[in-house]
A and B are shown apart, each in its own frame.
Chain A
Amino acid sequence: MESPTSAASRVDFYGFLDRMRRPEAAGLFRSIKSFLASLSLEEPSAEADGGRVQAFFAEMEAAIRGHPLWADATHQEIDHALEGLEKYIMTKLFDRTFVASPEDAAADAEVSDKIGLLQRFVRPHHLDIPKVLNNEASWLIAVKELQKINSFKSPWEKLLCMMSCCQVINNLLLNVSMTNDRTPSGADEFLPILIYITIKANPPQLHSNLKFVQLFRRETKLVSEVEYYLTNLISAKMFIINVNGQSLSMEESEFQKHMESATLGTQMSVAGPSSPQGLATSTRGLQKQIDAEAGSRFPFMDSETENLTPAELKQLHGLYRKTVTRYTLLSKALRKLSIDEDQLLASVDDS
């Protein structure tokens, strides 16, 4: 299948632009300009814009089919022109139509946060993925394809990222069924893997990307196989939003416990002075940071005991209480995450 970045699709697009610059195309070009101008006068609304853009695509399709510049064009050449048109229009309208409302932005954040938590504890067996289909290498390719979704602004290119991801999964299923002489189980295996890949990938702005493709991909092209695979990704999103203990074959209380510790883990990694980036990149840097902080937060580190005034002793005792409370909480949090405290400390010391 054609990749969105392939030379062929770039040539299509520039071919379209070239043709549009010809004097004979002036009429078409004027239609495009006036459509964009008229839309800019309307209050932005993704759904209403979707309807207007689809009507314009249909109108332009008829105009291009009847235009002398495409008089001898093959079906494919006309199709390329229409792809070019879609890309041109939607690139111009991207800022207006993609994540068009605060609700969309909130929905994106909700999905992404949820996935962030699920990533920490959902394993293939929770979704009924048989062991024989566990293939990290294939899965990683599928994940990467899905994550490319925001590299493109046209609905077709975004859709191609989703299709490529699905194709990688399909190839895996077919290869496994052929090499193991195993009956392929169709959607019983495809959907669980797609959901798992979606969780692993946490594709950026998943809700908005799906909505954008549904509203602005040319309607006549959102059919058959493409529609089927898009529906699968929509249902993966829906599964993730509504996930509970039952949908992962665990007790609701166990699920809640997982979600709580995942939340705790996420908070720890975004807040606090010892971020995981600090741990991973340079422990020496971390040590420096601790020393610097020690000056302001722990002012008695270098003091001599006999020189302390009663007031300072009181302050020291207060600090001691705070430190102990904080340490107790941190220990508890680490246990919840099943992290061994001593091992963690040893890993920081190993520099």
Chain B
Amino acid sequence: MGCSSSLPANSTGGLGNINNENSATDSKNLKVKLVLLGDSGVGKSCIVLRFVRGQFDPTSKVTIGASFLSQTLALEDSTTVKFEIWDTAGQERYAALAPLYYRGAGAAIVVYDITSAESFIKAQYWVKELQKHGSQDMIMALVGNKADLHEKRTVSSQEAQEHADMNNMFFVETSAKTADNINQLFEEIAKRLPRPTPPS
């Protein structure tokens, strides 16, 4: 189950890079706090590990912790977006703590597992929570993970698409295992982020 690739050679496995974090946000270099929500076992952290490892940029400083990751994505229009990804614990007993994490987030990814109807119900709960308590302009994505296990699918993509449309989210099915749609997911979020208006 999950993401089956080895750790990158340059992984320090620690909180090495905690100084000098104040890279200024300007119109070409954006920074966004992205929160990950979803039941435990749906592969939240696999999606992020896939994304972080998939970027090939020897100059970028990648911070790999177990639950906080940051990665910079370069877009075609030559803007860069630095994602600071906050993972949350998905078990029911920790659900009440989630608001501490999504407060101030500019983007949220709600993940479920396409082979688990239960995880989709949980995802709908998170979507509702974000609608109620999240910031108004938060970019939200609904993600059906484990798309490679389509023969065991219990959540139809049409149903999920409808739920996403209803809540003004974009929807994508991914496979952290085969890396399908992983980059597209983050690129789409990056494109949708509000650009700061350049000083006139």
Residues of A at the B interface (CB closer than 8 Å) are 1, 75-76, 79, 127-128, 163, 166-167, 169-171, 173-175, 177-178, 183-192, 220-221, 223-226, 228-229, 231-232, 234-235, 238-239, 242, 246-249
Q: Bound state CA distance, A132 and B132, in angstroms? A: 38
Say whether, besides A79-B20, A231-B100, A235-B97, A225 and B13 are in contact (CB < 8 Å): no
Chain A residues, Cβ within 8 Å of B48: 186
Is there a chain A Cβ closer than 8 Å to B84's Cβ? yes
Digitize B72-92: 1 where CB-to-A-CB distance is under 8 Å, 0 elsewhere: 000000000000101111110
Contact B1 A239 (CB under 8 A): no
B96 to chain A, nearest CB (A): 7
Q: State the majority secondary structure of interface residues on B.
A: loop
Q: How far is the CB of B178 from chain A (nearest CB, A)?
A: 15
Are B15 and A187 in contact, CB atoms less than 8 angstroms apart? Answer: no
Are A224 and B70 in contact (CB-based, < 8 A)?
Answer: yes
Known pairs A190-B67, A191-B89, A224-B84. 18 more at Cβ < 8 A? A76-B20, A127-B93, A163-B15, A163-B18, A167-B15, A170-B65, A183-B2, A186-B45, A187-B36, A188-B40, A188-B44, A188-B89, A190-B87, A191-B97, A221-B21, A224-B18, A234-B100, A239-B93
Are A170 and B101 CB-contacts (below 8 A) given A186-B44, A187-B45, A229-B68? no
Which one of B2, B3, B48, B86 has the highest number of Cβ atoms from chain A below 10 Å of its Cβ? Answer: B86
Across the interface, which residues of B come within 8 angstroms of A234, CB to CB?
A: 100
Q: Is the CB of A170 within 8 A of B19?
A: no
Interface: B11 (CB within 8 A): yes
Q: Give bound CA distance, A170 to B11, whole Å.
A: 12
Bound-state CA distance A247–B89 (Å) is 13
Taking CB atoms and an 8 Å cut-off, the chain B residues in 1-22 that contact chain A are: 1-4, 7, 11, 13-22
Contact A223 B21 (CB under 8 A): yes
Q: How far is the CB of B62 from chain A (nearest CB, A)?
A: 12
Query: Residues of B contacting A221 with CB < 8 Å?
Result: 21-22
> Using Cβ atoms and an 8 Å threshold, which residues of chain A touch B101?
231, 235
Of the A-B pairs whose beta carbons lie under 8 Å apart in the complex, a sample of 15, sorted by A's number, is: A128-B40, A163-B18, A170-B15, A171-B13, A178-B7, A183-B4, A186-B67, A187-B67, A220-B22, A223-B22, A224-B70, A231-B101, A238-B97, A239-B93, A246-B93
What separation, in Å, do the CA atoms of A73 and B40 have in the docked complex?
A: 48
Interface presence of B63 (CB below 8 A): yes
Known: A170-B14, A189-B66. A238 touches B100 (CB 8 A): yes
Assess whether B93 is in contact with A190, with CB atoms less than 8 Å apart.
Answer: no
Bound form: Cα–Cα A228–B46 in Å: 19
* CA of A167 to CA of B70, assembled, Å: 16
Number of interface residues of B (CB under 8 A): 43
> B25-66 CB contact bits vs A (8 Å, 1 = yes)?
000000000001000110011101100000000000001011
**Chain A interface main SS type:** helix
Residues of B within 8 A of A186 (CB): 36, 44-45, 48, 66-67, 87
Which B residues touch A76, using CB under 8 A? 19-20
Q: Are B7 and A166 neighbours in the complex by a CB distance under 8 Å?
A: no
Once the chains bind, are B15 and A225 in contact (CB under 8 Å)?
Answer: yes
Given A170-B66, A171-B13, A220-B22, are A128 and B97 neighbors across the interface (CB < 8 Å)? no
Are the CB atoms of A191 and B94 closer together than 8 Å? yes
Q: B90–A188 contact, CB under 8 A?
A: yes
A183 and B3 contacting across the interface, CB-CB below 8 Å: yes
Most interface-central of B4, B89, B97 (chain A CB within 10 A)? B89
Partner of B89, one of A170, A174, A192, A226: A192
Chain A residues with Cβ below 8 Å from B66 are 169-170, 173-174, 184, 186-187, 189-190
Asked if B18 contacts A187 (CB within 8 A), the reply is no
On whether the beta carbons of B88 and A229 are closer than 8 Å, the reply is no
In the bound complex, how far is the Cα of B91 from the Cα of A249, in angstroms?
Answer: 11
Contacts of A128 in B (CB 8 A): 40, 91, 93
Q: Which residues from chain B contact A231 at a C-beta distance below 8 Å?
A: 86, 100-101
CA distance A189 to B1 in the complex (A): 16
